[in-house]
Structure 1
Amino acid sequence: MSTGNSVLTHIALPVRNLDAQLEFYAKYTNMKVIHQRVDEQTKLRTAWIANERDVTEEAARFVIVLIEGSLPRQVVGETMEEQYTFLTSISHLGISVDSRDDVDRIADMAREDGILLLGPMYRNEVVGYICFVRDPDGNNVEFSVEQVLG
């Protein structure tokens, strides 16, 4: 059953240190912060980041929402045990770049920073040329070129 014109708009990730995450994305991507706030009720710090080319004067097409802090009991209830879960194993964020040179450059930076997990390497005609990097919270981030999405 279709729900009409549904569109994926964001993914939200818990982070331990929002400033460290924003530094990571500023260094490794062309994403920019389009919104930041501290929620008065929950005290959660939030930043929305988006691809520069996807941001218009009105909005962005897709954002990653980074959230720092713990949800207060009045929001999650007394019985819910809050747990941070991270993108591990094969779970990852996928970021497309323009060339193999870009993947190599990112892999070199990540190697120097001690956060390169895999690659750079060519997997196949679907996956393309990739490297995997670990962000400050341990999430896996894949940088790729020549990847077929469809």
Structure 2
Amino acid sequence: MKIEHVAIWVKDIDKICEFYRKYFVGVVHPIYHNPAKQFTSRFVTFESGARLEVMHRPDIDALFHVEHLGYAHLSFSVGSKEEVDRLTKEMSTDGIQVVGQPRTTGDGYYESVVLDPEGNRVEITV
């Protein structure tokens, strides 16, 4: 198992991606946009293979009642859809709150989302 990516909420995706490209030699990937949710994101990949998802929604403050932008979720790659399903079910059985059932997202990820004991979002993906 490995950390798949870390995601942050931002006001200006292009500005933030340029920062990580310029100073940390990140490779900025094409923009993804989901018009139904007014969601936009870009991934930045670093030499080590680590990835940062830079995300924006115009209503993020109201939607999630955030006091500041930044950390959104931690994502773990578990290797297969079956393992996403199994681990999500195990966590649910153990009383971990599942806030996003296993599904394929608009940008092609198969994932579920749970809350850690302090309410932080943890994405479980292939």
- State the TM-score, normalizing by the size of structure 2: 0.45
Larger relative contact order (Cα-Cα within 8 Å, sequence gap ≥ 6): 2
In our comparison, the structure showing a higher alpha carbon Rg is 1
